[in-house]
Amino acid sequence: MQPPLHQSGASPRRNVVALDIGGTKINAALVRISGGDAEIITSATTPTVAKDGSDGILAAAVRVARNVLSGHPGVQLDAVGMSAGGVIDSSRGVVTHATDTIPGWRGADLSAPFTAEFSAPFRALNDAHAHGLGEALFGAGRDHRSMMMVAVGTGIGGSIVTNGSLLQGSHGAAGHLGHIGVSEAEGMKCTCGRNGHIEALASGPGILRVAKKLNAGDDATKDGKALARAAEEGNTAAREAYRIAGFATGRVIGSLLNTLDVDLVTLAGGVTEAYSGWIDAVKQGVAHDAMDVVANTPITTATRGSQAALLGAAAFSLNFPTCDIPTEGTEA
């Protein structure tokens, strides 16, 4: 028997359908938030088919949302929250900037299919923002007043949460740490079209490029898993690629600590777990650039994994506890 999903009392339980639209799959969950805790009651996944464009992907997201609710007939739904790639104007639920990975994603109205389907408020936010908010409220950052999350995987992103409030910025673009310029990436083209950004050097694909330049070998540079395995097994060039990328990432983090002075830095993403020496290099980079007053800021790894974005989207949809939302749909 399923536990009751809505109860009255001093700490009411709020029920949210949360979605996380990624490059390869759409995750959905029925999330229950009560007091300061969040619990995933049930979840489902469906593939992201980029060639279907924004309309097809949003239709698939509605179907998987229905799926997670199907086992709980009569549940009182308080909100629907979505985490998705791109710069999102959360006040309108519209993607204002995005890459061409999904045809038609830029300009997509994320809210329309869900407000038509569900009798509940809908809110959307950027995936890195959702991940950071979920981790800050319900994961590694829950006992800290402020947290900066740095996510390093296919790209590099981040988010800043202070006293439970997510910083989105005037255009919804706050936290794009991957697009900070670093000397080590000079001449390397970033996914945004600019040159010299940290993402071009220190993301998963960037580290592979560095390893190839260092002649790590064809076997080691087949993909990210092969490179991480080679580094763990002692491949000198593979280890050096991770060291270069980690040190540069740490320098960016150190500079941001000088600016933001947060309580905690949380590292997330596939690169974080790939090769053990990478985190050591990150910490060395932080020590190189951080002022003494912030040099001992704790650096830890995320604890909620793939759940974090769903929990962040759920909390954001309820404005829990509070979120800084742009009030106008402006573009950079």
For the domain made up of 13-131, give the CATH fold. Answer: Nucleotidyltransferase; domain 5 (3.30.420)
- Say what the pLDDT of residue 23 is: 83
Overall pTM > 0.85: yes
- Say what the pLDDT of residue 7 is: 39
- Say what the pLDDT of residue 3 is: 39
- Write the CB contacts of 28 (distance below 8 Å, at least 6 apart in sequence): 17, 18, 19, 20, 43, 44, 45, 46, 61, 64, 65, 67, 68, 310
User: What are the start and end residues of each CATH 3.30.420.40 domain in the chain?
Assistant: 13-131, 144-301
Adjacency order of strands within the sheet including 156-162: 299-301, 264-268, 146-152, 156-162, 165-166, 322-323
Pairing relation of β-strands 13-21 and 25-34?
A: antiparallel
- Say what the pLDDT of residue 218 is: 96
Three-state SS for 54? helix
Quick check: 246 and 202 in contact, CB under 8 A?
yes
- Say what the pLDDT of residue 277 is: 96
pLDDT by 10s per residue, the chain, length 332 = 333 343 334 468 899 999 999 888 999 999 999 888 999 999 999 999 988 999 999 999 999 999 999 989 888 999 999 999 999 999 999 999 987 778 889 999 999 999 999 989 999 999 999 999 999 999 999 999 999 999 999 899 999 999 999 999 999 999 999 999 999 999 999 988 899 999 999 999 999 999 999 999 999 999 999 999 999 999 999 999 999 999 999 999 999 999 999 999 999 999 999 999 999 999 999 999 999 999 999 999 999 998 999 999 999 999 865 444 444 443 33
- Say what the pLDDT of residue 73 is: 86
For the domain made up of 144-301, give the CATH fold. Answer: Nucleotidyltransferase; domain 5 (3.30.420)
